[in-house]
Amino acid sequence: KAGVTQTPRYLIKTRGQQVTLSCSPISGHRSVSWYQQTPGQGLQFLFEYFSETQRNKGNFPGRFSGRQFSNSRSEMNVSTLELGDSALYLCASSLMAGYGYTFGSGTRLTVV
Amino acid sequence: AQSVTQPDIHITVSEGASLELRCNYSYGATPYLFWYVQSPGQGLQLLLKYFSGDTLVQGIKGFEAEFKRSQSSFNLRKPSVHWSDAAEYFCAVGTDSGNTPLVFGKGTRLSVIA
């Protein structure tokens, strides 16, 4: 079966711009979680959506937002980009968060 | 809330040698435990998981891990390392409620030398 698809793979944005990342989960998976990965902080949880509802949220500023559509596809948006937002953003899908994830290959965001 | 500690930031082993990566967790109830591996620039791949039952779990690529409740540990082992095992390894803990996100350790980078 198809895996988790994240688009785009790479992005370069300028400080102050906004960006939208997309994630298509494995068919049948209703939970989509987003993580930010940086060398200094490791994997940090952003948020989780389950059946179009945000069920869990990490400790990130309001500039980070997301949504999930009825087909379980999810998007995350970062507004007013800062240099520190440069990271690998990973999407993970699962039947239920906490039971283990299947990760996408990630979107590498570089803010200049 | 749960937490995970991976004490070793970087480990170097010789090809063919055995490997053990350490993971300690903190969680009041029965944890769900996972090991993932990440190659450079890629997402994370699940190696193995423990939910309940036999405390020694087998995973892909010849890896195994042992859950020791008394030590709050879930160490990953492999009897003979291959050069292709060089990667970053992450331990993660979840809860049996199923609706809380996984918490990951900071990772251990494995280098393999000839």
> How many CB pairs below 8 Å do chains A and B form together?
69
Residues of chain A neighbouring B107 (CB-CB closer than 8 A):
42-43
Give tens-digit pLDDT for B32-86.
Answer: 999 999 998 889 999 999 998 899 999 999 999 999 999 999 999 999 999 999 9
Q: Which of A65, A33, A30 is nearest to A50 (CA)?
A: A30
Q: Do A106 and B43 touch (CB under 8 A)?
A: yes
Nearest to A98 among B44, B90, B98 (CB): B98
Q: State the pLDDT at residue B41.
A: 81
Nearest CA in chain B to A101: B46
> Whole-angstrom Cα distance, residue A95 to residue A101?
8
3-state helix, strand, coil in chain B (%, to 5): 10, 55, 40
Residues 51-70 of A with CB under 8 A from B: 55-56, 58
Mean pLDDT computed over B76-97: 94
- Reply yes or no on whether the pLDDT at B96 is more than 80: no
Cα Dmax for chain B: 44
Amino acid B67: pLDDT: 96
The whole-number pLDDT of residue A61 equals: 97
- Coil, helix or strand for B85? helix
Which pLDDT value is given to residue B95?
85
CB neighbours (10 Å) of residue B108? 20
Q: How does pLDDT run across B2-39, given as a tens digit for each residue?
A: 899 999 999 999 999 999 999 999 987 889 999 999 99
How would you write the pLDDT of chain A (112 residues) with one tens digit per residue?
A: 679 999 999 999 999 999 999 999 999 999 999 999 999 889 999 999 999 999 999 999 999 999 999 999 999 999 999 999 999 999 999 987 677 899 999 999 999 9
**C-beta atoms surrounding B80 within 10 Å:** 11
Spatial separation of the C-alpha atoms in residues A47 and A67, rounded to whole Å: 10
Q: How many residues does chain B have?
A: 114
Question: CA–CA separation, B111 vs A63, rounded Å?
Answer: 37
Q: What is the pLDDT of residue B100?
A: 83
A99 contacts B45? CB cut-off 8 A: no
pLDDT reported for residue A1: 64
Record: contact A100-B41, CB cut-off 8 A: no
pLDDT of residue A96: 76
Å from B105 to nearest chain A CA?
A: 8
Q: Which residues of B touch A55 (CB under 8 A)?
A: 99
Chain B interface, best mutation among A43, A47, A93, by max B CB count within 10 A: A43
Token output for B34 = 């996972």
Out of A6, A88, A98, name the one closest to residue B100 (CB): A98
Pairwise pLDDT comparison (B94 vs A17), residue with the higher score: A17
Inter-chain residue contact B99 with A4, CB threshold 8 Å? no
